[in-house]
């Protein structure tokens, strides 16, 4: 394997999920009871992440109740609303939220993210997803989820409309000349008059162009369609890879596809997810990991796994491997790449259903690593040096303690090795990721040094 020699700084994102990414984190005595809806809890996490100089924090979302609320905390605040609260208690860290193209309208979402970018001073990011699952569809008057390909086609047009709306105000539109009584140049705000397959939108947006022009646009899908969209449009990619070889292959694939679309591969930052469980010793970290696994209720987790695999729970035996006769990826309409990851993990390591539940309990298919801070830093550096990552999506098993340990113990090691910043040098999220402000496609009087438009798509369930 060829070691990378550019040694550009790593990018680190904190993926904040309730009281932690482990399935059983909520059962620990120290976990806050209202983690999913506790605003003060999230404010504390945001301050910790900013203290660690992380590029960004990220809030996932879905337009459906995720899982059984009797099994674990399932309530979630609408993430863009929560981002405004976090913007008020931070000043530099980027703020990314998920929003679905399947069950929103472009005008409302474009306005919402432009507003967050204004409120935060240029720190907003949008994780653009399609949404699979009949349970979500039925919340919006549909009998079932649209086909995979149709969701991506709608999503592409959705983002095209959103970017046109963000461009409907020129950067110099607001004159604010009190003497002349002219607030905005009338020729610097224009209708977009979009007429497409899925949307008819006149515009312009009722929010002027935001500090970043567009929010940072993030992608997290690894299906064939997802990788093509990433290669053509994405600016940051959150991905789940279990092994170094898989990480290298994904990294090369997306970067090579980007070249095929005439893009600079450096314009896409690839961040695999890692669930670090940190202890003073490796044995202590492994014991904490084992303690969390012991708190998993397998009867609940088996139902969740069966749902992901499109099986009946009775078809899964906790002490046997997965059945041979299960659907192929082509037969799955939602979350195709995650389905394949789970099945391949189980087959490759010959895991029983019980063991697979334990492996997925920490990060739903993302790589879990238990060890000392030094060992966590080593594995991050190794993946980076071997060309499997531009950075990492940090997913603490337990919050806030796991994030505190990462910030206070792992980040200083990465800084000592020259891999991570020792201070913020920019003020916007795009500056943290080393990405330019996008050009305005409607108005020509823009900074022509701005880079490629980023669009990102994935799908959630």
Quick one: which of 283, 276, 356 has its CA closest to 22? 276
- Is 140 a member of any domain? yes
Q: Are 238 and 143 within 8 A, CB to CB?
A: no
- Is 192 a member of any domain? yes
- The burial of 202, by beta-carbon neighbours within 10 Å (0-12 exposed, 13-18 middle, 19 or more buried), is given as exposed
The CATH number for 139's domain is 3.20.20.30
pLDDT in tens, 173-197: 999 999 999 999 889 999 999 999 9
Phi, psi of 283 (to 5 degrees): -65, -40
Q: How far apart are CA 436 and CA 351, in angstroms?
A: 45
- Is 29 a member of any domain? yes
Chain CA centroid to CA 459, Å: 11
Query: Could you identify the residue written with the tokens 């993926």?
Result: 15
- Is 291 a member of any domain? no
For residue 89, the enclosing domain spans 11-286+366-460
Q: Are 308 and 323 within 8 A, CB to CB?
A: no
pLDDT in tens, 31-67: 887 667 889 999 999 999 999 999 999 999 988 887 6
Q: How far apart are CA 11 and CA 28, in angstroms?
A: 30
- Is 49 a member of any domain? yes
Q: Band of the pLDDT at 332, cuts 50, 70, 90?
A: low
Instruction: Name residues whose C-beta falls within 8 Å of residue 142's C-beta, 6 or more positions apart in sequence.
Output: none
Asked if pLDDT for residue 456 goes beyond 50, the answer is no
Bridge partners of 276? 369
CA angle 180, 212, 61 (to 5 degrees): 125
CB atoms within 10 A of CB 33: 10
Number of structural domains in the chain = 1
Average pLDDT, the chain: 86
- Three-state DSSP class for 398? coil
Quick one: which of 170, 160, 120, 58 has its CA closest to 399? 58
CB atoms within 10 A of CB 14: 26
pTM recorded for the entire structure? 0.85
Token representation of residue 95? 């703020």
Bridge partners of 218? 127, 236
Q: 314-323, 328-337, 430-439: which has the highest mean pLDDT? A: 430-439
- Is 112 a member of any domain? yes
If phi > 0 it is left, if psi is from -120 to 50 it is alpha, else beta; for residue 325 that is beta
Of all residues in the chain, the percent with pLDDT exceeding 90 is 55
Average pLDDT over residues 372-394: 96
- The burial of 105, by beta-carbon neighbours within 10 Å (0-12 exposed, 13-18 middle, 19 or more buried), is given as middle
Residue ranges with strand state E in 142-295: 174-177, 182-184, 194-195, 200-201, 216-219, 236-239, 269-278
Instruction: Name residues whose C-beta falls within 8 Å of residue 413's C-beta, 6 or more positions apart in sequence.
Output: 373, 374, 377
Token representation of residue 456? 């990102």
- Is 314 a member of any domain? no
Bridge partners of 422? none
Q: How far apart are CA 205 and CA 201, in angstroms?
A: 10
Instruction: Name residues whose C-beta falls within 8 Å of residue 29's C-beta, 6 or more positions apart in sequence.
Output: none
Q: Are 188 and 172 within 8 A, CB to CB?
A: yes
Q: Are 221 and 230 within 8 A, CB to CB?
A: yes
- Three-state DSSP class for 304? helix
- Is 235 a member of any domain? yes
Q: How far apart are CA 191 and CA 215, in angstroms?
A: 21
Q: Band of the pLDDT at 331, cuts 50, 70, 90?
A: low
Q: How far apart are CA 218 and CA 454, in angstroms?
A: 8
pLDDT in tens, 247-281: 999 999 999 999 998 989 999 999 999 999 999 99
- The burial of 326, by beta-carbon neighbours within 10 Å (0-12 exposed, 13-18 middle, 19 or more buried), is given as middle
Asked if pLDDT for residue 104 goes beyond 90, the answer is yes
């Amino acid at each position: 394997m060829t070691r990378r020699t550019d040694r550009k700084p790593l990018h680190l994102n904190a993926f904040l999920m309730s009281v932690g990414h482990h399935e059983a984190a909520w059962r620990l005595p120290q976990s806050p009871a209202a983690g999913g809806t506790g605003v003060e809890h999230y404010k504390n996490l945001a301050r910790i992440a900013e203290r660690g100089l992380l590029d960004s924090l990220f809030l996932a979302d879905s337009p459906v109740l995720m899982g059984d609320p009797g099994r674990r905390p399932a309530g979630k605040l609408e993430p863009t609303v929560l981002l405004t609260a976090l913007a008020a208690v931070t000043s530099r860290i980027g703020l990314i939220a998920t929003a679905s193209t399947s069950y929103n309208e472009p005008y409302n979402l474009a306005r919402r993210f432009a507003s967050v970018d204004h409120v935060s001073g240029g720190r907003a990011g949008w994780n653009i997803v399609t949404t699979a699952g009949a349970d979500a569809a039925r919340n919006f008057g549909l009998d079932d989820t649209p086909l995979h390909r149709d969701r991506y086609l709608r999503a592409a047009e959705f983002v095209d409309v959103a970017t046109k709306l963000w461009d409907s105000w020129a950067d110099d539109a607001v004159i604010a000349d009190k003497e002349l009584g002219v607030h905005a140049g009338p020729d610097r705000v224009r209708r977009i008059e979009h007429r497409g397959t899925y949307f008819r939108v006149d515009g312009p947006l009722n929010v002027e162009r935001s500090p970043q022009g567009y929010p940072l646009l993030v992608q997290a899908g690894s299906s064939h369609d997802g990788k093509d969209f990433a290669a053509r449009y994405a600016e940051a990619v959150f991905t789940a890879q279990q092994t170094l070889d898989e990480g290298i292959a994904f990294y090369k694939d997306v970067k090579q596809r980007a070249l095929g679309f005439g893009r600079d591969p450096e314009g896409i930052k690839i961040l695999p997810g890692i669930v670090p469980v940190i202890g003073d010793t490796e044995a202590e970290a492994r014991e904490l990991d084992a303690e969390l696994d012991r708190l998993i209720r397998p009867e609940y987790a088996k139902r969740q796994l069966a749902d992901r695999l499109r099986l009946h729970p009775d078809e899964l035996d906790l002490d046997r491997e997965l059945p041979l006769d299960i659907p192929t990826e082509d037969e799955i309409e939602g979350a195709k790449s995650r389905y394949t990851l789970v099945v391949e993990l189980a087959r490759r390591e010959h895991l029983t259903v019980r063991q697979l539940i334990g492996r997925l309990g920490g990060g739903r298919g993302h790589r879990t690593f238990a060890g000392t801070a030094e060992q966590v830093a080593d594995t991050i550096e190794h993946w980076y040096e071997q060309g499997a990552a531009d950075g990492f999506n940090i997913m603490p098993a337990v919050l806030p303690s796991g994030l505190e340990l990462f910030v206070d113990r792992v980040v200083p090691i990465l800084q000592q090795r020259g891999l991570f910043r020792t201070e913020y040098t920019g003020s916007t999220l795009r500056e943290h990721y080393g990405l330019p402000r996008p050009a305005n496609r409607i108005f020509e009087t823009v900074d022509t040094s701005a880079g490629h438009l980023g669009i990102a798509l994935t799908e959630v369930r």
